[in-house]
Amino acid sequence: MNGQKVALVTGGMGGLGETISTKMVDAGYKVVVTYSPGNSQHGEWVKDMKAKGYDITAVACDVSDFDSCTKAVAEAQSKVGPVDVLVNNAGITRDTTFKKMDKVNWDAVLRTNLDSLFNMTKQVADGMVDRSWGRIINISSVNGSKGAFGQTNYSAAKAGVHGFTKALALEVARKNVTVNTISPGYIGTKMVTAIPEEVLNTKILPHIPVGRLGKPEEVASLVVYLASEEAAFITGANIAINGGQHMQ
């Protein structure tokens, strides 16, 4: 491929998403992020990034809503061109034991963390196939592979992510479009620091053999690699990055 490639990162202003976005800029991509329509900080974020030397386009998008994704991707592509790399990163937690979980918490997590893959990938996959080049990188979780106390909704959605990856990878492999899952463990972002300290210290950290939380940079570097030309032979993979917490 010639010219500057375009990467779209959903949830690109979040803990992991921001680091993925800046690493992709560093790697030479034109980057567009989506942010949740309720996020009133987006203007500030874009300005801050610009001040740090990162020229990143931002579009509002509710990834759980198909029509919102259609509009957002059309807006993004009109600003920066066709999307070559899609990073499905946006995600939420609504942790609670199954006994206390209600339908609202179930639906919110399934729609945001799993339906979003259909909603976003549908907008860009045909274009990648037509141009015979593309990378789809889906951010799942260690808890999609091993389950987690208080996360029936999240674990179900994140397990579903890899099923999507494997099926789509088969369909587009001949067209130089790779589809992969990254399953991060507990990374030092707001999502993880929101876990009650006692639970984090007694139930989670002792089970991470390297003895610490992961760093967003560690996951972002893997995204950059999977997006690269060198990673063309990796498709349908689920790459764990969890400090040894769960070995497949």
Residues that bind ligand CAA (CB under 6 A): 93, 95-97, 141-143, 148-151, 154, 185-186, 191-192, 195-196, 199, 203-204
Minimum Å gap between C-beta 55 and ligand CAA is: 29
Q: Could you give the CA distance from residue 9 to residue 226 in angstroms, rounded to a whole number?
A: 14
* Contact between 18 and 215 (Cβ < 8 Å): no
Name 48's Cβ contacts closer than 8 Å, sequence gap at least 6: none
- What are the phi and psi torsion angles at 128 (to 5°)? -60, -45
Of 167 and 199, which CB lies nearer to ligand CAA in the complex structure? 199
Pairing of strands 57-60, 134-139: unpaired
In the residue annotation, 154 being an active-site residue is answered as: yes
Task: Give me the numbers of helices (H) and strands (E) for the chain, helices first please.
Answer: 10, 7
Of 54 and 106, which CB lies nearer to ligand CAA in the complex structure? 106
Q: Which is the catalytic residue, given 29, 35, 54, 154? A: 154
Minimum Å gap between C-beta 230 and ligand CAA is: 27
Of 10 and 123, which CB lies nearer to ligand CAA in the complex structure? 10
**Secondary structure letter of residue 10 according to DSSP:** T
* Contact between 37 and 46 (Cβ < 8 Å): no
Of 12 and 134, which CB lies nearer to ligand CAA in the complex structure? 12
Q: Which residue is nearest to ligand CAA (CB)?
A: 150
Minimum Å gap between C-beta 186 and ligand CAA is: 5
Residues annotated as catalytic are 154
